[in-house]
Amino acid sequence: MYRPAPMNIPPDYGKIKFSKEEMRHILFSVVVLTIAFTLAFSGIILGERHIIGISTAEYLGFYLLVSFVAVLSGFLLHELAHKFVAQKNGAWAEFRSFPMGLAVALFFSVLGVLFAAPGAVYIQGMISKKQNGHISIAGPVTNLVLGTGFILIARVFGVNDLVGYGLYLVGSINLLLAVFNLLPVPPLDGYKVLRWNLPAYIVVMAAAIVMAAGVYTGWWF
């Protein structure tokens, strides 16, 4: 009777872990993106002023804080969602920054435009189509949930309130990223989700579009 040979499963299989190199890449990306978001949001280089009644230091401090939260939620948690699901499925997964993409982000931010390709989570291992679908959908769903949460809290304060306005900006960025990353174009997440499960793709994409449209048309306020 045939008996399969025993498999040697590594002790850290399925566990969440970070390498020192990965942490350096994450820190570098967060710092550069926060600077880029601050420049783009504030319009300070272009001489714009979106908020009156506060000092220049307070103005920059506000947008620096908003940008930091937007980067942590919109970018970092998106990538970590991919990483954690991949590692839970036994794959090697680490984030690596893309210096050229970060340089492009800084360039466009000076013009008041947000455009960035900061890096990605690289994955290696025996991953099925279903597992790859789960890994891919984790990022946009994270943005969708966070974006919805920030927008709902912003409604409590109102967009005319400084806190409400900041939450609105963070929520908007998350929802915009959810829609963008769900586009069915390789190498975006939407392409891999669509290949895995059409109904799941339709549900998540529809939810992201409705929420994003609600924000940018003022339905929710």
The pair of three-digit structure tokens given for residue 125, joined into one six-digit string: 């291992």
Q: How far apart are the first and last CA of the chain?
A: 69
Tell me whether residue 79 is one of the annotated catalytic residues.
Answer: yes
The phi, psi pair for 37, rounded to 5°, reads -65, -40
Question: Rounded to an integer, what distance in angstroms lies between the CA atom of residue 143 and that of residue 71?
Answer: 11
The token pair at 109 is: 């931010």
Mind spelling out the 3-state secondary structure of the chain? CCCCCCCCCCCCCCCCCCCHHHHHHHHHHHHHHHHHHHHHHHCCCCCCCCCCCCCHHHHHHHHHHHHHHHHHHHHHHHHHHHHHHHHHCCCEEEEEECHHHHHHHHHHHHCCCCCCCCEEEEEECCCCHHHHHHHHHHHHHHHHHHHHHHHHHHHHHCCCCHHHHHHHHHHHHHHHHHHHHCCCCCCCHHHHHHHHCHHHHHHHHHHHHHHHHHHHCCCCC
Question: Which member of 21, 22, 48, 79 is catalytic?
Answer: 79
Residues that are catalytic: 79
